[in-house]
């Protein structure tokens, strides 16, 4: 009998690699979906490709969605990525690295992919603890997307088994995510989390994403395998 | 004082042109959003451009979203567009011209656009009467998308005025839509509804969309301004 299918949104970062490993460990055939969306850190797509190979995923597709059509984010515009921010600020503000409606757009594409391959489970590495500043990482948002997805699709109209949006990292700290991934054999040296890496993929070490990742390895008591840029900044 | 902003999903067809005219008549500054999604009837984008000019809309952006990444529809794949179908079949089945998650993807892009320009009203020409076969044209789907949108965005987190998905055509027949549009000065000769037009934009006259459009003009008692192909089929 064939396995159940899972679509995993795979950015090439630490979180999504862990999600892919969790889905696989739960017995799913994993179909990875990445996005080329005009992100300045597009080198993460090569990381996604490495992760796909390391974890033995079924396939990986990259959807081209040019979010620069609208702009409005430091990740796609010529706005500086904030560096060395205060952690309290990270928690309370919606940062300029927020990309308008990004998770909604990404999950919508996953929904199309799911309908076409006959998959009911879409996995995404959102995290409510470490990224509380992003509205589309909150559990109530995910629940609302799932409800909408079941009305949007053929599945919702004609079948009993419903679409499910799976968020295994939702309430984990970064350290807990890292420990879970290591137990499942994820090689984090292959992943890139930095919002502003150099073309080789070396991390800046100072953006919010680098800060949270570093802190996660530290709190997990695991040696940080991240390759950082050797610059004076 | 500046007008309120509305984003209108403008395909270049009869319905979306009418929606743009209604939004304008209600005092909105209309920002049109079109999609290049690998549709075989991409000539509709030139129709959208003509409609934008005729109605005096503020701007029109075209987002490139290659839905052929997933396939699964006669509108994007090498599947024949059904011709001369029985009307009962149209009502009961989900047709092969259904594009998986298309409205969800389109509305998600509109949501990104809305956040960036500070707009709270997204207008879409879905219609529950004439297209009952598409799950993502049902009122319960639209309500669920709106609920999700308010949790997905900065607006939902930080402001009182919520995102609204406006569907003025939802319960109108095609004939009622046409009568409303003509009253508002829409020039339907500029629009293209056909799923399978020739490169010049001439309609096939036999697909579901042509059938419903023809019937609408007939029932409205209005001369059909559509340019049909002069072929033997």
Three-state DSSP at A162 gives: coil
Indicate whether B37 pLDDT > 60.
Answer: yes
Q: Give the ipTM.
A: 0.86
Residue A122 in contact with residue A166, Cβ under 8 Å? yes
Task: Name every chain B residue with its beta carbon within 8 A of the beta carbon of A64.
Answer: 64-66, 69
> CB neighbours (10 Å) of residue B66?
14
Q: B203 - beta bridge partners?
A: B228
- Tell me the residue length of chain B: 233
Q: How confident is the model at residue B147 (pLDDT cuts 50, 70, 90)?
A: very high
Work out the pLDDT band at B1, boundaries 50, 70, 90. very low
Given a cut of 90, is residue B191 above it in pLDDT?
Answer: yes
Under CATH, what is the fold of the domain A4-220? Rossmann fold (3.40.50)
Residues 6+ apart with CB under 8 A from A187: A54, A225
Residues of A with CB under 8 A from a CB of B: 61-67, 69-72, 94, 98-105, 108-109, 111-113, 115-116, 135-136, 138, 140-141, 144-145, 147-149, 151-154, 156-158
How far off is chain A from B110, nearest CA to CA, in Å?
A: 9
Strand order in the sheet with A164-166: A59-64, A28-36, A4-9, A121-123, A164-166
CB-side neighbour CA atoms (13 Å) of A129: 14
Residue A34 three-state SS: strand
pLDDT of residue A48: 96
How far apart (Å, rounded) are the C-alpha atoms in residues B176 and B128?
13
- Chain A residue numbers with beta carbons less than 8 Å from the beta carbon of B144 are 144, 147-148, 151-152
Question: Could you tell me the pTM of the whole model?
Answer: 0.88
Q: Would the annotation count B18 as a binding residue? A: yes
For the cut 80, the answer to whether the pLDDT of residue B40 exceeds it is no
Q: Is A129 annotated as a binding residue?
A: no
Query: Strand pairing partners for B207?
Result: B83
Is A98 close to B154, i.e. CB distance below 8 A? Answer: yes
How far is residue A155's CA from residue A161's CA, in Å, rounded to a whole number?
7
Cβ count near B92 (within 10 Å): 9
Measured between its terminal Cα atoms, the distance across chain B in Å is 54
Going residue by residue through chain A (233 aa), what tens digit of pLDDT does each one get?
A: 467 999 999 999 999 999 999 999 999 999 999 998 877 777 889 999 999 999 999 999 999 887 777 765 555 665 566 677 666 655 545 555 566 788 999 999 999 999 888 899 999 999 877 655 678 888 999 999 999 999 987 655 555 668 999 999 999 999 999 999 999 999 999 999 998 889 889 999 998 889 999 999 999 999 999 999 976 54
- In this prediction, residue B33 carries a pLDDT of 96
To the question of whether residue B207 is assigned a binding role by annotation, the answer is yes
């Amino acid at each position: 009998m064939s396995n159940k299918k899972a679509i995993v949104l795979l950015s090439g970062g630490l979180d999504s690699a862990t999600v892919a490993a969790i889905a696989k460990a739960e017995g799913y055939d994993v179909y990875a979906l990445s996005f080329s969306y005009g992100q300045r850190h597009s080198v993460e797509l090569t990381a996604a490709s490495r992760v796909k190979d390391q974890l033995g995923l079924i396939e990986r597709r990259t959807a081209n969605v040019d979010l620069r059509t609208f702009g409005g984010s430091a990740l796609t515009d010529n706005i500086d990525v904030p560096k060395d921010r205060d952690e309290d600020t990270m928690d309370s503000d919606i940062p300029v690295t927020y990309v308008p409606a990004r998770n909604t757009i990404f999950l919508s594409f996953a929904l199309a992919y799911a309908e076409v391959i006959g998959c009911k489970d879409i996995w995404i590495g959102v995290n409510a603890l470490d990224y509380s500043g992003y509205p589309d990482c909150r559990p109530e948002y995910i629940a609302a997307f799932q409800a909408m997805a079941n009305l949007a699709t053929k599945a919702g109209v004609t079948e009993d088994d419903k679409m499910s949006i799976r968020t295994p990292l939702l309430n984990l700290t970064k350290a807990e995510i890292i420990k879970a991934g290591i137990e499942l054999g994820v090689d984090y040296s292959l992943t890139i989390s930095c919002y502003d890496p150099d073309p080789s993929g070396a991390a800046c070490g100072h953006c919010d994403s680098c800060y949270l990742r570093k802190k996660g390895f530290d709190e997990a008591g695991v040696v940080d395998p991240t390759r950082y840029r050797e610059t004076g900044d």
